[in-house]
């Protein structure tokens, strides 16, 4: 039956634009993966490929999730699998691109991989998580699950990684074939950032945090940094932008600000519009993200595009983006005093802020713009399409 279904596909010679079925989330809720998926669907890639979206996640914000989630997710997976099956029948895609995280997300998306390979389709599987967390997920799994994870990943035609730190985990720890691995970083649309820039701004400096409000992103450390700066006599404004990570995190942050009498210094912007967030980037002087765990944060790319110096931690892809003393500083997670020290340096040295900001704009334009990364997608798609056509030709002969 699988061979008959495979024959539904036409060769790339007699079709129009190749069809890509992109399985991933879209806002709401807003997040890094959903933003990337949204940008791909609206990008110039549509000129050469027909990119069709398939939602592989629920619309529930993370803060709404709780103990009942496993049961809810099991209930939701069946209609999603049916919808995916029907999407393959209807759109007959040449390539299926699956955007995934770890844990439950990986296990659910592995079912899409199995269905796609039953249809003899080319599969690109993207890993959106910090590699260390995936290593923990893998090492903590029973033997049969480790074999299943390895089988799923090696069943894919390409594993798309968004930073190089992942390679060791997949090749050496899990045993994925190196030839299947491709690095395609996250990106941003620069049009939103180069239209208008507020070249500083009179008045007190602004220190900006953009990310989920919760411990994982280090927002409570950010509040402690602001308190230390106030105690040292600095006059500034600190702005926190983002939704709460878990229920109760926002209240905890607000209570902490009140307890430390920081209400005159810290603004909690919470969940605001995209345009309003970009306005804060353009108003700010310094960007601080004291994360304990990251994959490839778009907020850092956005801050770089806005010309801000970065102070963050060497986790996930951040160590590949931020170069010490060139476009920012990297501090060990939890080292609040060191964060304060680096913020002080930038508050006291406007020329250094400008130097790092110029370097960041240049780096974004050269390496992480939508146009640059779209070419990597084009190259990957064309390579896989050529390999698939060659395989079909050999089978046909």
User: Tokens 């620069």 — which residue?
Assistant: 190
pLDDT for residue 146 is more than 50? yes
The pLDDT, as a whole number, for residue 388 is: 87
Give the tens place of pLDDT for each residue, 171-188. 999 999 999 999 999 999
Q: Which residues contact 4 (CB under 8 A, 6 or more apart)?
A: none
Q: Are residues 234 and 180 in the same domain?
A: no
Q: What is the mean pLDDT of residues 233-251?
A: 94
- Split at pLDDT 50, 70, 90, the class of 13 is very low
Q: Are residues 387 and 356 in the same domain?
A: no
- Split at pLDDT 50, 70, 90, the class of 341 is very high
The pLDDT, as a whole number, for residue 389 is: 84
The pLDDT, as a whole number, for residue 72 is: 52
* Helical H segments across 140-248, by residue range: 143-155, 166-168, 219-231
Q: Which residue has the higher pLDDT, 37 or 57?
A: 37
Q: Kindly list the distances between the CA atom of residue 124 and the CA atoms of 68, 155, 233, 257, 392, in Å, as whole numbers in the listed order.
A: 31, 10, 53, 44, 18
Query: In what side-by-side order are the strands of the sheet with 266-270?
Result: 266-270, 237-241, 206-210, 286-289, 310-312, 328-330
Q: How many domains does the chain have?
A: 2
Give the tens place of pLDDT for each residue, 103-144. 888 999 999 999 999 999 999 999 999 999 999 999 999 999
Quote the pTM value: 0.89
3-state secondary structure 317-375: CHHHHCCECCCEEECCCCCHHHHHHHHHHHHHCHHHHHHHHHHHHHHHHHHHEHHHHHH
pLDDT for residue 148 is more than 80? yes
pLDDT for residue 345 is more than 50? yes
Q: What is the mean pLDDT of residues 198-219?
A: 86
pLDDT for residue 324 is more than 60? yes
Cα–Cα distance measured from residue 363 to residue 383, given in angstroms and rounded to the nearest whole number: 27
- Split at pLDDT 50, 70, 90, the class of 201 is low
The pLDDT, as a whole number, for residue 270 is: 79
pLDDT for residue 1 is more than 50? no
Q: What is the mean pLDDT of residues 34-44?
A: 94
Q: Kindly list the distances between the CA atom of residue 183 and the CA atoms of 158, 207, 304, 350, 380, in Å, as whole numbers in the listed order.
A: 10, 32, 21, 36, 10
Q: Are residues 222 and 313 in the same domain?
A: yes
- Split at pLDDT 50, 70, 90, the class of 64 is low
Q: Are residues 275 and 175 in the same domain?
A: no
Q: Are residues 39 and 82 in the same domain?
A: yes
The H-or-E segment that residue 19 falls in is strand 19-23
CATH code for position 97: 3.40.50.2000
Domain range enclosing 309: 190-368
The pLDDT, as a whole number, for residue 313 is: 98
Q: Are residues 11 and 121 in the same domain?
A: yes
pLDDT for residue 395 is more than 90? no
Q: Are residues 52 and 71 in the same domain?
A: yes
- Split at pLDDT 50, 70, 90, the class of 191 is confident
Q: Are residues 212 and 326 in the same domain?
A: yes
Cα–Cα distance measured from residue 112 to residue 198, given in angstroms and rounded to the nearest whole number: 46
The pLDDT, as a whole number, for residue 28 is: 73
Q: Are residues 178 and 224 in the same domain?
A: no
The pLDDT, as a whole number, for residue 7 is: 43
Share of the chain above pLDDT 70, in %: 87
Q: Which residues contact 133 (CB under 8 A, 6 or more apart)?
A: 102, 293
Please check whether residue 335 is in contact with residue 315, taking contact to mean a CB–CB distance below 8 angstroms. no
Q: What is the mean pLDDT of residues 190-216?
A: 79
The pLDDT, as a whole number, for residue 357 is: 96
Mean model confidence pLDDT for the chain: 89
Q: Are residues 99 and 169 in the same domain?
A: yes
Q: Among 164-178, 325-339, 383-397, whose mean pLDDT is lowest?
A: 383-397
Q: Are residues 315 and 380 in the same domain?
A: no
How far is Cα of residue 312 from the mean position of the Cα atoms in its chain?
A: 16
pLDDT for residue 58 is more than 80? no
- Split at pLDDT 50, 70, 90, the class of 274 is confident
Q: Are residues 382 and 356 in the same domain?
A: no
The pLDDT, as a whole number, for residue 74 is: 57
- Split at pLDDT 50, 70, 90, the class of 209 is very high
Q: Which residue has the higher pLDDT, 5 or 292?
A: 292
């Amino acid at each position: 039956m699988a061979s008959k279904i495979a024959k539904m596909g036409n060769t790339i010679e007699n079709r129009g634009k190749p069809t890509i079925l992109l399985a991933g989330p879209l806002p709401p809720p807003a997040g890094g993966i959903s933003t990337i998926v949204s940008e791909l669907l609206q990008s110039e890639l549509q000129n050469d490929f027909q990119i069709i979206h398939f939602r592989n996640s629920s619309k529930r914000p993370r803060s709404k999730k709780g103990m009942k989630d496993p049961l809810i997710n099991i209930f939701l997976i069946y209609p999603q699998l049916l919808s995916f099956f029907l999407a393959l029948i209807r759109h007959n895609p040449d390539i299926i691109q699956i955007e995934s995280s770890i844990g439950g997300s990986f296990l659910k998306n592995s079912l899409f991989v199995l269905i796609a390979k039953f249809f003899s389709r080319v599969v690109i599987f993207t890993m959106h998580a910090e590699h260390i967390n995936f290593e923990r997920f893998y090492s903590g799994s029973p033997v049969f699950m480790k074999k299943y994870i390895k089988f799923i990943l090696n069943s894919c035609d390409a594993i798309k990684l968004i930073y190089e730190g992942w390679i060791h985990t997949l090749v050496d720890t899990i045993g994925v074939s190196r030839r299947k691995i491709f690095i395609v970083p996250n990106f941003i649309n620069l049009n939103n950032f180069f239209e208008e820039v507020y070249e500083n701004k009179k008045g007190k400096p602004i220190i900006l945090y953009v990310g989920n409000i919760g411990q994982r992103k280090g927002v409570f450390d950010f509040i402690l940094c602001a308190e230390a700066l106030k105690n040292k006599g600095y006059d500034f404004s600190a702005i926190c932008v983002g939704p709460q990570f878990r229920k109760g995190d926002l209240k905890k942050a607000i209570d902490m600000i009140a307890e430390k009498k920081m209400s005159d210094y810290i603004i909690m912007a919470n969940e605001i519009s995209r345009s309003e967030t970009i306005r804060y980037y353009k108003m700010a002087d310094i960007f601080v993200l004291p994360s304990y765990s990251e994959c490839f944060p778009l907020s850092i790319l956005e801050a770089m595009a806005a010309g801000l110096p970065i102070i963050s931690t060497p986790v996930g892809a951040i160590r590949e983006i931020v170069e010490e003393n060139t476009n920012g500083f990297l501090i060990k997670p939890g080292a609040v005093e060191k964060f304060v020290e680096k913020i002080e340096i930038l508050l006291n040295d406007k020329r250094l802020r400008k130097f790092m900001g110029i370097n960041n704009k240049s780096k974004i334009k050269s390496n992480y713009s939508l146009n640059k990364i779209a070419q990597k997608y084009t190259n990957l798609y064309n390579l896989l399409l050529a390999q698939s056509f060659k395989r079909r030709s050999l089978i046909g002969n």
